[in-house]
Amino acid sequence: MRSSATHGATPSGRITATQALDGVMALIRSHRSVAELTPESMGQALGVPVTRVSADHFGYAQQLPGDWSFSVQRQLVPSIGPRVDLAFSPIDEAEPSPQAICSPDFAHFTAALEQWGFTRQTSRGEHGRWTFDAFDRPGQHVEVYPLVHVGDTRGTDLTCVGRVSIR
């Protein structure tokens, strides 16, 4: 295992959901291609030690407060090439509120991509269901998948970032 700088990490070496999302944004800003990403540069952006699984596969994972966990990994996907994925997941079979992982929320996260010159396209699945928003600029393709928590009253829905995939 190779490790990297832990700038921004808590004394226990753990980071928050906000720090994970900010770290992924830093990776997007600082690397024009996923192919040039290293365990050291990922660790520096996230502020935690990154584990190398193989030459083409490395990442980091941890539990978060509120019955959530996340992982971020770079791997070589056959027929696609190198890809970075950040995913938030509920722990066990829990159905926790996404409030603990929703900063920045989907709107703020995606607005930053547009400010950096990415063009946006919404992808819809079966019956017009919203599946993700895709963002493109030369050398990068980013898919941001929403995690929608339906509120108790009209206008209180919460739309968070559930997953980010970078190619």
pLDDT in tens, 85-135: 999 999 987 788 888 899 999 999 999 999 999 999 999 999 999 999 999
**Cα–Cα dist 62/68, whole Å:** 9
Q: Is 108 helix (H, G, I), strand (E, B) or coil?
A: helix
What's the pLDDT at 155?
63
In the predicted structure, residue 10 carries a pLDDT above the cut 60: no
In a domain, 7, yes or no: no
Quote the domain boundaries for residue 50. 17-166
The amino acid occupying position 69 is S
In a domain, 4, yes or no: no
In a domain, 29, yes or no: yes
The count of structural domains within the chain is 1
**Cα–Cα dist 70/77, whole Å:** 20
In a domain, 99, yes or no: yes
In a domain, 2, yes or no: no
In a domain, 120, yes or no: yes
pTM reported for the whole predicted model: 0.88
